[in-house]
A and B are shown apart, each in its own frame.
Chain A
Amino acid sequence: GAGVSQTPSNKVTEKGKYVELRCDPISGHTALYWYRQSLGQGPEFLIYFQGTGAADDSGLPNDRFFAVRPEGSVSTLKIQRTERGDSAVYLCASSFIWGGELFFGEGSRLTVL
């Protein structure tokens, strides 16, 4: 595709519900990243994939958060038992190589009521 695509663009859910956020990276980009951005803050690293495997998931806040990239392209970030503190914009980015320029998607805005 022309750019990184993220769906949904907006998600409103209730506390305790399960949420999935999808990211479709730029074709040919092997590295895929998930960041979380709260209002007035910089993007906070969550997890990074090189191919199908999670190369570094040290940024995931707790075990309610999980991400997969089964075929080395599309990735899904999964959040169980959502809490109000999970409300943020979840940004996905991809790069041609690890350490290269990040291309960000428009983000998925998650609101937990």
Chain B
Amino acid sequence: GQQVMQIPQYQHVQEGEDFTTYCNSSTTLSNIQWYKQRPGGHPVFLIQLVKSGEVKKQKRLTFQFGEAKKNSSLHITATQTTDVGTYFCAGAMNYGGSQGNLIFGKGTKLSVKP
């Protein structure tokens, strides 16, 4: 079935370092969403990207959607301890112009050392 691959699985950084997680789909996506899940919590929506090549910023977070709408990335500048958690991408499959279900990647677990 359709899969959304996410790398790396884990990332350990020193506070102040940058962090990037990558998301890839074998098929063209209708759109992609990003979620953050804190330890013991539930996924919380961060952003949705719809257009080819789209770039969106939220303070220290930068989200990109690839030109072919098959890949995406999330970059965090100067990580803080509050950034700790697992970041999931979720791709909405494109079925001949119709949007399919959101398929989640396995997530990238970020730990930040103070």
Contact = CB atoms under 8 A, between A and B. Distances in A.
Given A42-B107, A101-B33, A106 B101 contact: no
Nearest to A48: B101
A41 B106 contact: yes
Nearest to A46: B101
Interface residues of B, number: 22
Interface in A40-57: 40-45, 48, 56
Contact of B104 (A44, A103, A107): A44
B104 A102 contact: no
Contacts, number: 50
B103 interface: yes
Nearest to B43: A104
Contacts of B42: 91, 104-107
Contacts of A41: 106-107
Contacts of B77: none
B31 interface: yes
B20 interface: no
A55 B107 CA distance: 26
Interface string B28-60: 001101010000011111001000000000000
A5 to B, nearest CB: 12
A104 B102 CA distance: 13
B37 to A, nearest CB: 9
A97 to B, nearest CB: 11
B107 A56 contact: no
Contacts of A105: 42
B105 interface: yes
A43 B43 CA distance: 9
Given A43-B90, A44-B104, 14 more contacts: A33-B102, A43-B43, A43-B88, A43-B104, A45-B102, A48-B101, A59-B101, A91-B43, A98-B99, A99-B31, A101-B33, A102-B35, A104-B43, A104-B44
7 closest Cβ pairs, A-B complex: A42-B104, A104-B42, A101-B45, A43-B104, A42-B106, A99-B99, A45-B101
Interface of B: 6, 30-31, 33, 35, 41-45, 48, 88, 90, 92, 99, 101-107
